[in-house]
Amino acid sequence: MASPCTSSICITTLLLVVVSWATSASARNFYQDFDVTWGDGRAQILNNGDLLTLSLDKASGSGFQSKNEYLFGKIDMQLKLVPGNSAGTVTAYYLSSNGSTWDEIDFEFLGNLSGDPYILHTNVFSQGKGNREQQFYLWFDPTADFHTYSILWNPQRIIFSVDGTPIREFKNAESMGVPFPKSQPMRIFSSLWNADDWATRGGLVKTDWTQAPFTASYRNFNADNACVWSSGSSSCASSSSSSSSDGNAWLSEELDSTSQEKLKWVQSNYMIYNYCTDAKRFPQGLPPECTMS
Ligand SMILES: *[C@@H]1O[C@H](CO)[C@@H](O)[C@H](O)[C@H]1NC(C)=O
Ligand SMILES: *[C@@H]1O[C@H](CO)[C@@H](O)[C@H](O)[C@H]1NC(C)=O
């Protein structure tokens, strides 16, 4: 058996193959990317890092956060929400920086009685100011299976998507004097907690603790296209070198006409609250970004 290489070169080659496989998209795991931050054992990483579960009982909820900080990114996570009677519970999944003028991009899932719809609540904070809520019902049961919730955050826009369908676009309106999140790195956070003072029908329906523990599950995190912040600088290494000619196309991505149609479909059929149409709330006039189409 003639070997084409000395054993040390063969081993090196093999190691390179293993290393490049391990750093490719398919090999992400929750141990590498996240830290459980609170909940005293109620948050668990399972299946060799493929699955993370949060739970909530009367004594405490639980939560985790990303090890990395990101300054822009296209970030996907699959979630399966608390099934059955989830009234009073909130599953929050968001990006946030810190300090008193923080930026934040939020998905919050407000539970409900069995068979009644969750509300998907979204918000964007820039420099500590939010008040930009939009809320939606979903077109499927988010507790029956995993679905993908994505945030595209680039310097021009923030797009919230569900299973690839855009539900909300928040455009950069700095030209109108509206601050846009673009200089503070954010971490990914998630938590499951009790908010029965406001979450379900405005706080009318309380958490039924006989159903505890409540559990939400996470899998298939993907931040291959994101700029990771480290000691004062950001690197946007793209892992998709093989598949696309411009791995950083997401940094200027916008909605194409098909996606705009989908966004309209969601907004006309599933949107239940939009701060931009809540004139009563803004007697001095709607926020300036609301006039952008
Ligand atoms: C927030 O502050 C801490 C220390 O004060 C820092 O380590 C962390 O990276 C900051 N940023 C985020 C997004 O958490
Ligand atoms: C819960 O169900 C009720 C009745 O269908 C609905 O009005 C409400 O928006 C639902 N969601 C929440 C979080 O209250």
Could you report the per-residue pLDDT of 127-183, keeping only the tens digit for each? 999 999 999 999 999 999 999 999 999 999 999 999 999 999 999 999 999 999 999
185 lines ligand 1 (CB under 6 A): yes
pLDDT, greater one: 233 or 13: 233
Nearest to 167 by CA among 208, 133, 197, 192: 133
Q: What is the pTM of this model?
A: 0.89
d(CA 22, CA 28): 8
Residue 249 has pLDDT above 70, yes or no: yes
Report, as residue numbers or ranges, the catalytic residues. Answer: 104, 108
The yes-or-no verdict on residue 78 having pLDDT over 80 is: yes
CA 243 – ligand 2 centroid, Å:
43
The reported pLDDT for the residue numbered 93 is 98
Cis peptide, bond prior to residue 142, ω within 30 of zero:
no
C-alpha 156 to ligand 2 mean position (Å): 34
Query: Which CATH number is associated with domain 29-291?
Result: 2.60.120.200
Q: Report the nearest-CA residue for atom 9 of ligand 1.
A: 69
Q: What is the pLDDT of residue 183?
A: 96
**Per-residue pLDDT tens over the stretch 97-126:** 999 999 999 999 999 999 999 999 999 999
Tell me, rounded to whole angstroms, the distance of Cα 106 from its chain centroid: 7
37 with 64: CB under 8 angstroms?
yes
The label of the residue with tokens 């929050």 reads 92
Alpha-carbon distance 12 to 268, whole Å?
Answer: 57
* pLDDT for 247: 76
| Nearest to 61, CA basis, from 217, 218, 213, 204 | 213
Nearest ligand by distance to the CA of 229: 1
